[in-house]
Structure 1
Amino acid sequence: MPPIPDPSDDTQAGLAPAGAFSATERAAIYRVIETRRDVRDQFLADPLSDELVTRLLAAAHAAPSVGFMQPWNFILVRDQAMRQAAWEAFSKANDEAAEMFSGGERELYRSLKLEGIRKAPLSICVTCDPDRAGPVVLGRTHNPRMDVYSTVCAVQNLWLAARAEGVGVGWVSIFRDEDVRRLLGIPERVAIVAWLCLGHVDQLYSEPELAVRGWRQRLALDDLVFSECWQGD
């Protein structure tokens, strides 16, 4: 049996030198963040290679997780009939959502093209298993939602890696949980966090599509930053 590392010994604890990235590397990271978009309709039909999908999943799997519990699973959905069934579940929920708006907002909502499930060659359902690390998880003892928050970090990692690869991602959230659970055979104890549509794109909006279409505009950062205590309404 190998010796148990002494956490007070930096050489045994696996520490490595840290430092800022180069200016070029930093610029690339900020560009990826700033130009990431939620793609709804601009997908190309070209399939994603297995090597590319593996890179994206590895990026997601490298995400931080509370207690290193790594609660995520990734269900890859390529079958056209499965994606059509998912689209039908989405379409039903989308019609329900449209009725929650009124007047011009309803018309604008209905004008948004939300065809990613059928157009993108790959969908990934990202789930969260709350039992992955047992009943007591370091860091989750007083906030049980930390497993879902960790899974969202994996989604963001995948999204940013996809942007760097020229792959568009759309997050579909308009569906009834039970419809997707039944379609994919997901156990009740496992949370459905995201349905992601992935595909190559050759064009992206220069700003978030909902801002371009007049749905909402980006809030001013200065209005969202407080010092020392809550200062909002």
Structure 2
Amino acid sequence: MNDDCYSDAERQAVYRAIYERRDMRHFLPHPVDPNVLSRLLNAAHHAPSVGFMQPWRFIRITCPELRLAIHQLVEQERQLTAEALNERSDEFMKLKVEGILECGELLVAALCDQRQAHIFGRRTLPDMDLASVACAIQNLWLAARAEGLGMGWVSLFDPPALKTLLTMPDDSQPIAILCLGHVEAFYEKPMLEQSHWAQRQSLDNLLFENYWK
């Protein structure tokens, strides 16, 4: 018996959040309780980070005009992505790829500035700062699902344009636009799987032992 093991109910809750987490695109325009938002951001802030550098920064977007400007940046990239997809362009344009104008809270997750000072764990793998921010986003996502809120990660934007719009430092980097809020229902499967855009691969095809084969 492992004394550090959670109870059956607690373990099931953790796995439930993992398996029921969805990249949400459809939101209800209801506000998010400030206390809940605080809990979610604290969950994100307790993510692991390489060298304990804590490179995440979150910008809460409360200005309606700024939210609209971010939406316009995403729409520009959506059009360019469609062009780059060639034969799948029409199929892509039918997908809903964001909920920026509808969600209760809009956040931008970013890499901090002055990251070159953090060498621990990054000398040969400098992208570990990005991995650390991704962990913070995942913490936020899972906590949101446990709170009954949906979250969507939007990556369709031009980073320099968003950086300029948000007056971010030169050596910082926007990573994700995060739509957060109440939803009518969570998707039964990932939306892109439901839309037949892609299917989840078998773990057997992604797991190797000792050598890549």
Q: Tell me which interval the TM-score lies in, with the shorter structure as reference length.
A: over 0.9
- TM-score, normalised to structure 2's length? 0.95
| TM-score, reference length from structure 1 | 0.87
For residues 202 and 91 of structure 1, the distance between their equivalents in structure 2, rounded to whole angstroms, comes to: 24
- 2:87 corresponds to 1:109: no
Paired position in structure 1 for 2:184: 202
Q: Deviations over 1:63-85 (max 9, x none)?
A: 00011111111100022211110
Is 1:211–1:217's contact at 8 Å kept on the other side of the alignment? yes
C-alpha distance after superposition, 1:116-169 (max 9, x if no partner): 11111211111112535x624322222111111111100000000000011111
Whether 1:143 aligns to 2:125 is yes
Q: What is the CA deviation profile of residues 9-62 of structure 1, one whole-angstrom value per residue up to 9, with x for unaligned ones?
A: xxxxxxxx961111111111111000100011x211111121111000000000
Are residue 89 (structure 1) and residue 48 (structure 2) matched? no
User: What is the RMSD of the two structures over their aligned residues, measured on CA atoms?
Assistant: 1.5
Q: Is 1:78–1:121's contact at 8 Å kept on the other side of the alignment?
A: no
Partner of 1:31: 16
What is the deviation of 1:170?
0.7
Whole-angstrom CA distance in 1 between matches of 2:154 and 2:98:
10
- Distance (Å, rounded) in 1 between the aligned partners of 2:128 and 2:173: 13
Q: How many angstroms apart in 2 are the aligned matches of 1:215 and 1:223? A: 19
Report the Cα offset of residue 92 of structure 1.
Answer: 0.8
Residues 177 and 192, structure 1, Cα contact 8 Å, conserved in 2: yes
Question: Measured at CA, do residues 18 and 190 of structure 1 come closer, stay the same or move farther in structure 2, by a change above 3 Å?
Answer: farther
Query: How many angstroms apart in 2 are the aligned matches of 1:130 and 1:18?
Result: 41
Query: Residues of 2 paired with 1:174 and 1:164: CA distance?
Result: 26
CA distance in 2, matches of 1:227, 1:115: 38
Alignment size in residue pairs: 212
Query: 1:10 maps to what in 2?
Result: none
Equivalent pair of 1:63/1:157 in contact (CA under 8 Å): yes
Instruction: Please give the secondary structure, in 1, of the residue aligned with 2:178.
Output: strand
Alignment of 1:62-81 (within 5 A): 62-81=46-65
The answer for the alignment partner of 1:7 in structure 2 is: none
CA distance in 2, matches of 1:87, 1:18: 49
Aligned-residue sequence identity (percent) comes to: 42
Structure 2: tracts of 5 or more residues without a match: none
CA contact (8 A) 2:107 2:178 kept: yes
Runs of 4+ in 1 over 3 A off after TM superposition: none
1:124 is matched with which residue: 107, 115, 128?
A: 107
**Against the structure 1 CA distance between its residues 82 and 18, is the aligned structure 2 distance closer, same or farther, given a 3 Å change threshold?**
farther
Which segments of 5 or more consecutive residues in structure 1 lack a partner in the other structure? 1-16
Partner-residue secondary structure (3-state), 1:163: helix
Q: Distance in 1 between matches of 2:174 and 2:118?
A: 21
